[in-house]
Amino acid sequence: MATGTEQQCGSLTVFSKEDFEEDWVKVASGGFGCVYQVKHKKWRTVYAVKCSPYLLQDPSTERTSVNCLMEEATKMEKIKFQHIVTIYGVCNSPLGIVMEYMARGSLEKILPTHKMSWQLKFRIIHEMGLAMNFLHSMTPPLLHLDLKPGNILLDGNMHVKISDFGLSKWMEQSSRMQYIESSALRGTLSYIPPEMFLQNTKPPGIKYDVYSFGIVIWEVLMQKKPYAGANMMAIIVKVAAGKRPCLEPISDDWPGECQQMVDLMKRCWDQDPKQRPSFTGVVAKKGTDIPVETDMLLSLIQSLVVDPENERLVRKMSHKPAIAGNQQVSKAAQCMGKCTESPSLLTSS
């Protein structure tokens, strides 16, 4: 019978490799590190362990690495929200964060391989907005600073939970060039706003995340990579000059709601941070001190969302391109809001 070796450190559980079964399945890897699917020996519960190199501020010093990881995990563990990945603790060997396992993996993995319905695309964008609104509504606002499809995870029912909002400390301790180079290695460069590439000494604010959100909207609608094929310097030059991912493929045959989403997307990636909307703006009623919440982004997104239950939200694609042709899009437009028969959420080709 397995005996647990996990310990408590404050509110965090500290796991060791011996707490889990021997079969660690690598489910994702990249510039961010590696994610493993594991099963707890005693609890019989599946978790994900993320070993992420940017959490280790000084890899040559074990104590510094552990302290940094504990600080990051403690911050993440306190955040409880339906669209934020749940953190359960840390693993001391290998060093990583133990978190909720998301059955469908990342949005980055799904976008190029599956055809999504418009309903699902809108729902994903909406749930991303809810998560970011929650983070920005905290006091003080918690900035994500690494919002991208790789950090947008999907559960078995294709609902969104975001992860990895740990770059604030890294940015504080890094030079601008170190941050840009690190972002390039992690595949994050396309989601960085132009002010970060220019001579700007101001620390990032909430409008940083809003810009990233706009780029992700484009990626969800198009199911393509922004600036595909461009190298690091080309992306920096394009973004700093005010250029954005190409909009030419957007068709008049798309549902009318898509144009509204595109308009929102353009506002989010505006060159001027002051012109970008907020996820939640708080203003005072005229003549009073009563705060009134104005959902700048959420009200727009919510108006576009339909209930996609019992619909064919996504199916495996056997051919590229990822976005359907005009004829298929036209059919999708006609079917907006209607149910189609489908025994499952995801069907293989």
Catalytic residues: 146
Helices (H) and strands (E) in the chain, counts: 10, 14
Task: Give the H or E element holding residue 136.
Answer: helix 118-136
Q: Which two tokens stand for residue 107?
A: 């949005």
CA distance linking residue 226 with residue 41, whole number of Å = 42
Dihedral (CA of 154, 157, 159, 162) sign: negative
With beta carbons less than 8 A apart as the criterion, state whether 163 and 188 touch.
no
Q: Which two tokens stand for residue 269?
A: 């990636």
With beta carbons less than 8 A apart as the criterion, state whether 50 and 86 touch.
no
Question: Helix or strand or coil: residue 267?
Answer: helix
CA distance linking residue 159 with residue 277, whole number of Å = 24
With beta carbons less than 8 A apart as the criterion, state whether 143 and 206 touch.
yes
CA distance linking residue 224 with residue 324, whole number of Å = 12
DSSP state of 203: P
Asked whether the bond before 149 is cis by omega within 30 degrees of 0, the reply is no
DSSP state of 19: G
Q: Which residues pair with 87 in a beta bridge?
A: 99
CA 237 to chain centre: 24
With beta carbons less than 8 A apart as the criterion, state whether 148 and 227 touch.
no
Residue identified by tokens 């941070």 is: 273
